[in-house]
Amino acid sequence: MASHAASAFFPSPFEEAAILTVDGVGEWSTTTLGHGHGNKIKIQKELRFPHSLGLLYSAFTYYTGFKVNSGEYKVMGLAPYGTPRFYDIIMKNLIDLKEDGSFFMDMKYFNYCQGLTMVNQKFSQLFENEPPRTPETPIKQFHMDVAASIQKVCDEVMLRLARHAKKETGSKNLVLAGGCALNCVSNGLMAKEKLFENIFVQPAAGDAGGALGAALFTWFEYLDNPRTPQKTDSQKGSLLGPSFTNETIEKTLSSLKAPFIQYSDEELAEKAASLIHQGKVIGLFSGPMEFGPRALGGRSIIGDPRNPRMQAQMNLKIKFRESFRPFAPAVLLEKSPEYFEFDHESPYMLMVASVQKNIRTQNEGEMEKRFGIEKLNVPRSALPAVTHVNYSARIQTVTAERNGLFHKIIRAFFEKTGCPVVINTSFNIRGEPIVCRPEEAYRCFMLTEMDALILGNFLLLKENQPPMEGAQKYKKQFKLD
């Protein structure tokens, strides 16, 4: 867990900060509280396996029929459709939560220490004797209520941990890492409570960030190199992956016999803004690939958040995934407070906040009459494609310094329409890794219903491309997530 702590603190813009790492398990630690100062970190307290918030959440991921270690975000997305009516059952039977955020779990309900499943029959007996949902079977209101309940428990644990970290360290800054730090609902609640003036979440908060943390720990803690925090974090927008020159991309497109037109960044931004305004969906492949699980404008699919049909269209026809899944808004930083109840930066799409009341539609009463997926049919705001059924949104704030062409596109869309927000989702289909290379982006573009593709400084329109066969084979080659 020291590597997680290092990955959170050392790239942060803070000279000193409280450190929380909340994970499934790392060695034996599952949760740690520490304090960072200068080029040193100190772990002060820890919880150990098998008592783990990450594994508790994963147990419910398994129970609701999603894949452990990748489907946890589905549980988070499903939760707003439900009512947390099992919260008291979880708190009474599964977890003994203390005021400082420490806890013990009653292991007689779990199977992950000794078996091949996360939970056992005793677990199911707590929840109306309902067996674990079989993957890909219909999701019932019961599963939505279970998701809402475990999300509420997660929120409460994270808030208590944050309060205790504030008490122990006295810091005005908090940094977070570990898989549970990717729970942007809990992160948003911590920001809303204003326990800390500033919060930084490692954008690759899961196991991938451990490699970064190990390198940073060696450089600063072990080798004692000086550390000078920057005004913004040193993660560089998390755009740390491979990039490809226009020359390389052009050779790839020529080998594929793919028609294209080359534009400058400014021309490309204008073209993209016009296409989005026309209701088109664009694959955006620009600059380095993102490090971490979020697409941040390097390998993204973008569209118009004002279009009430866009959420279903992108989920079912492009991502090939469940219709309940929400999309994230990417918003110009300076315009964010006009649309969202959030006054921080969120450059890594790791904070959830409420949509401002003045852009909500007057349908909250109608929403209360609906259950489950039916809530999707109720218009929710002026940005329906990125407003979840509980009037929340997972925000990415975008700046010119971090986001390059992506920022130019949103700025051009704002100047054209008055809307400083676009949909941003990862450039892949369900079960597939995010595209990395130009040929992967072209294949995904051609075998889905995307309308246009930006590859470097090249624009490709679907109607101009030669047909590509194998769409069904393409969709089936990756295991569902």
Q: Can you tell me the distance from the alpha carbon of 42 to that of 20, in angstroms, rounded to the nearest whole number?
A: 11
Residue 299's DSSP bridge partners are: 285
Helix H or strand E encompassing 400: helix 400-417
Residues in the chain: 481
CA angle at residue 219 from 229 to 158, to 5 degrees? 60
Question: What is the model's pLDDT at position 369?
Answer: 64
- What is the mean predicted confidence (pLDDT) over 445-453? 94
Question: What is the model's pLDDT at position 309?
Answer: 82
Query: How confident is the model over 461-474, as pLDDT tens digits?
Result: 999 999 887 766 76
pLDDT of 479 above 80: no
Domain spans in the chain, listed from the N-terminal domain onward: 1-234, 246-476
Q: Tokens 């020529």 correspond to what residue?
A: 254
Assess contact for 403 and 424: CB atoms under 8 A: no
pLDDT of 94 above 60: yes
Q: What is the mean pLDDT of the chain?
A: 93
Query: How confident is the model over 181-199, as pLDDT tens digits?
Result: 999 999 999 999 999 999 9
- What is the mean predicted confidence (pLDDT) over 441-452? 94
| Terminal C-alpha separation, the chain | 26
Tokens of 68: 């452990």
Question: What is the model's pLDDT at position 481?
Answer: 53
- What is the mean predicted confidence (pLDDT) over 122-130? 97
Assess contact for 290 and 316: CB atoms under 8 A: no
Question: What is the model's pLDDT at position 294?
Answer: 94
Amino acid, single-letter form, for residue 424: N
Q: 364: pLDDT confidence band, cut at 50, 70 and 90?
A: low
Which of 249, 253, 268 has the alpha carbon at shortest distance from 446? Answer: 253
Question: What is the model's pLDDT at position 27?
Answer: 78
Of the two residues 313 and 83, the one the predictor is more confident about is 83
Query: How confident is the model over 97-122, as pLDDT tens digits?
Result: 999 999 999 999 999 988 889 999 99
Question: What is the model's pLDDT at position 365?
Answer: 66
Looking at the chain, the whole-number percentage of residues with pLDDT higher than 90 is 83
- What is the mean predicted confidence (pLDDT) over 61-77? 94
Span 246-476: which CATH code? 3.90.870.20
Question: What is the model's pLDDT at position 311?
Answer: 79
Which of 330, 326, 271, 322 has the alpha carbon at shortest distance from 451? Answer: 271
Q: What is the pTM of this model?
A: 0.93
Residue 472's DSSP bridge partners are: none
DSSP secondary structure letters along 250-263: HHHHHHTT---EE-
Assess contact for 69 and 58: CB atoms under 8 A: yes
CATH superfamily name and code, 1-234: ATPase, nucleotide binding domain (3.30.420.40)
Assess contact for 13 and 200: CB atoms under 8 A: yes
Question: What is the model's pLDDT at position 480?
Answer: 57
pLDDT of 477 above 80: no
Query: How confident is the model over 200-256, as pLDDT tens digits?
Result: 999 999 999 999 999 999 999 999 999 999 889 999 999 999 999 999 999 999 999
- What is the mean predicted confidence (pLDDT) over 411-422? 98
The least confident of 108-117, 119-128, 409-418 is: 108-117
Amino acid, single-letter form, for residue 406: F
pLDDT of 9 above 90: yes
Residues 6+ apart with CB under 8 A from 191: 199, 342, 344, 351, 353
Question: What is the model's pLDDT at position 368?
Answer: 67
DSSP 131: P
Helix, strand, coil shares of the chain as percentages rounded to 5?
40, 20, 40
Tokens of 396: 């990415």
Q: How far is CA 472 from CA 205, 437, 466, in A?
A: 34, 21, 18
pLDDT of 143 above 60: yes
Amino acid, single-letter form, for residue 256: L
pLDDT of 377 above 90: no
Of the two residues 479 and 439, the one the predictor is more confident about is 439
Looking at the chain, the whole-number percentage of residues with pLDDT higher than 70 is 94
Question: What is the model's pLDDT at position 416?
Answer: 97
Query: How confident is the model over 266-324, as pLDDT tens digits?
Result: 999 999 999 999 999 999 999 999 999 999 999 999 999 999 888 777 877 777 766 67
Query: How confident is the model over 385-402, as pLDDT tens digits?
Result: 999 989 999 999 999 999
